[in-house]
Amino acid sequence: MVQKYEELIHAWPTLALFLASPRDEHDLDRLIELSHYLIDEIGENENHYLNSLLDTVGTLIMEYENKNIPEPEGDPIGCLKYLMEEHGLKQKDLTELGSPGIISEILSGKRELNKRQIKALSKRFNCNPAIFI
């Protein structure tokens, strides 16, 4: 078992570039970028071997954000509207969500956000995708 620990210790300088607890916004951005990459790789496969890595990255992001960044509270659409207001955005600016009709249905609560839209919003607003779920 000691040999396995020594292998981990030897690999840590490389792994720490990706898995260390973030100390600042730059480190946080790096982890968010990694989470987006992992989401793309995993897709809809709930049994994908990278799911545990995504969970670990998500935990690191969440811990940093809980300590350092106040998230908007409320339902996903309320959070979206809050972020739109904070960034001076109008409905027409959210083209990544789809057509004007789809955007209207989302903002009125008639349609839920899908995975692609959640990813696009978290990237646009540089926030944890969980606030849109």
71-124 per-position pLDDT tens digit: 666 788 888 998 988 888 999 999 999 999 999 999 998 999 999 999 999 888
Residues 55 and 33: their CA atoms lie apart, in Å, by 14
Torsion sign, CA atoms 69, 77, 84, 32: positive
pLDDT: is 72 or 55 the higher one?
55
End-to-end CA distance of the chain: 41
pLDDT of residue 73: 64
Residues 116 and 133: their CA atoms lie apart, in Å, by 12
Question: Has residue 69 got a pLDDT over 80?
Answer: no
pLDDT of residue 72: 62
- Mean local confidence (pLDDT), 41-62: 91
Residues 31 and 102: their CA atoms lie apart, in Å, by 30
Helices (H), the chain: 2-19, 25-42, 51-68, 76-86, 100-107, 115-125
Structure tokens at 61: 């992001």
